[in-house]
Structure 1
Amino acid sequence: MQRGTGARRTQRTAGDLPRWVWLPAALGAALVVVPVVALLTRVDWSDLPALLTSESSRAALWLSLRTAAASTVLCVLLGVPMAFVLARTRFPGQALLRAFVLLPLVLPPVVGGIALLATFGRRGLLGSSLEVLGVQVAFSTTAVVLAQTFVALPFLVISLEGSLRTAGHRYETVAATLGARPSTVLRRVSLPLVLPGLVSGAVLAFARALGEFGATITFAGSLQGVTRTLPLEIYLQRETDPDAAVALSLLLVVVAVLVIVLVRGREGRS
């Protein structure tokens, strides 16, 4: 009887938190929640449909969805092999490579845009050669996709690499021992094993690409229907039509919430 009471007391003590912890936690929650609530109070609900369905808003939204989807595909095609290389191999300079992969997470996006412009601009490292071939990357829809991929790729790599390290490689070792080729092990064992992490990383990459602003406006500019994505449209509308800017901001908030719910839901089921 005493042993059971002691176990319950230990469990209750381990689960309890000091009361003072609730105060900074509440302040942190308020710092996130209150601005969103303030945004909702600024929305003119009667004019919301007209603001969201204007020609410029529809063009910006459609361009954002197309480019974010394209950049997400690029993130998957490039990020999945990169995550496997970082998680399953060892080679000189690996730590430096990982640092460069994670660099867009800490760099201001405008710096990323300048770096892309120095690479693919007309006088850039690769852009001058592409210009001779008649290919112009900067200030085009392709530039939007590249800018979004640059800032979104680390999210997929981090998510998938973490899933790979958590899953371990014992199943892959067993499959290889049974005679499966490396490509078969990757396709039939490794990828299905970390599929939830891959999906979560892809969704996060899509959300980050959808909200990209700094690298896009620096590298791609703001041409309606060509490079003016939804965040750029919000920035421009803020000066000329604040109500439209608030409505479009609310749209991005809704999309972000749906993305977070989707990712957390999949993680909970996993």
Structure 2
Amino acid sequence: MYPNEFWSPVVLSLKVSSLAGLIAFILAGYVAWKMTGRRFRGKLVIETLIMLPMVLPPTVVGFLLLVAFGRRGVIGRLFEQMSGLPIVFTWGAAVIAASVVAFPLAYQSAKAGFASIDRDLAAAGRSMGASEWQLLLWVIIPLARRALITGFVLAFTRALGEFGATLMLAGNIPGRTQTLPTAIYMAVESGDMKLAWVWAGLMVLISFGLLAFFGPRSEQDEV
């Protein structure tokens, strides 16, 4: 039986990844729904900003988040004034970092799912008096459910493996903000390769299982 020191980063990573995946899933789904099929000035800029966390080095993303959510940042200072608590170096900071880097994957998947839906179905729903929320809940989401589930899985697995941005914003405090990637890094640094292998293998199994059952599928795979 492994001690608490082993399970602490495992439990924290699953908690952070689940919450970050859910946040990315909800926000990305809403933004994708608003963006799909619409043309307006500035759309290219917005979509480029959405995709930036996917291509920027995680340390750069973490630095920008630290500027915004740190004690001297606008959001971080305001939050601390209101709650008396800082954002940085907490497990909530790890959720923020993971949500940001996972958002682009959830957005791309949701956007592809919404784009594949026949617009005539939405028009028919509106002609029958359905509100936008009724249309979204009863028509759009059921038709795009496969893409939305895939988006959540991709967001979860990306959040599970997040390292750089999390380290910058949340730190690596054992039992408090130490996730599996940072725990693996520290295990390697200390020469405990056996423990690093066990943690790394656990991450691979979790990610592989989720992607195998709920990951992206081609039309040939569906047949």
Match of 1:40 in 2: none
1:202 aligned to which of 134, 152, 156: 152
Query: Which residue of structure 2 aligns with residue 220 of structure 1?
Result: 170
Render the CA deviation track for 1:143-183: whole Å, top value 9, x for unaligned.
00000001001111000101111223121111112222222
Where do 5+ consecutive residues of structure 2 fail to align? none
In the other structure, the counterpart of 1:60 is 9
Deviates more, 1:140-149 or 1:167-176: 167-176
Contact 1:57 1:233 in 2 (8 A): no
Query: Which runs of 4 or more aligned residues in structure 1 lie more than 3 Å from their structure 2 counterparts after TM superposition?
Result: 264-270
Q: Equivalent residue for 1:45?
A: none
CA contact (8 A) 1:156 1:201 kept: yes
Aligned AA for 2:89?
F
Q: 1:239 to 1:218 in 2, by over 3 A?
A: same
Displacement of 1:89 in angstroms is 2.4
Partner Cα distance (1:264, 1:126) in 2: 35
Determine whether 1:123 maps to 2:92: no
From 31, 48, 54, the equivalent of 1:99 is 48
The 8 Å contact of residues 89 and 170 in structure 2, kept in 1 or not, is answered as yes
1:80 matches 2:25: no
Match of 1:254 in 2: 205
Distance 1:55 1:193, change over 3 A: same
Percent identity reads 32
How far apart in 2 are the matches of 1:80 and 1:105? 17
**1:152 maps to which residue?**
102
Contact 1:104 1:154 (C-alpha < 8 Å) held by counterparts = yes
- Alpha-carbon distance, 1:80 to partner: 1.0
Matched, 1:184 2:184: no
Which structure has the larger Rg? 1
For each residue in 1:93-136, what CA deviation from the matched residue of structure 2 results, as whole angstroms up to 9, or x when unmatched?
A: 11100000011110011111111100010111221222222131
Aligned residue pairs: how many?
219
Aligned position for 2:118: 168
Long gaps (5+) in structure 1: 1-49
Residue 230 of structure 1 is aligned with which of 180, 202, 205?
A: 180
Helix, strand or coil: the match of 2:26? helix
**Higher deviation after alignment, 191-200 or 240-249:** 240-249
- 1:34-59 Cα distance to aligned partner (Å, 9 max, x none): xxxxxxxxxxxxxxxx6xx2322200
Structure 1 residues 91, 103: closer, same or farther in 2, change over 3 A? same
From 202, 210, 214, give the equivalent of 1:263: 214
Deviation at 1:185, TM superposition (A): 1.0
Provide the TM-score with structure 1 as the length reference. Answer: 0.77
Asked if structure 1 preserves the Cα contact closer than 8 Å seen for 2:117 and 2:140, the reply is no
SS at match of 1:126: helix
Q: 2-side partners of 1:131 and 1:150: how far apart?
A: 21
Q: Is the 8 A contact 2:62 2:166 kept in 1?
A: yes
> Are the counterparts in 2 of residues 57 and 230 from structure 1 also a CA contact under 8 Å?
no
Q: How far apart are the structure 2 equivalents of 1:98 and 1:255?
A: 30
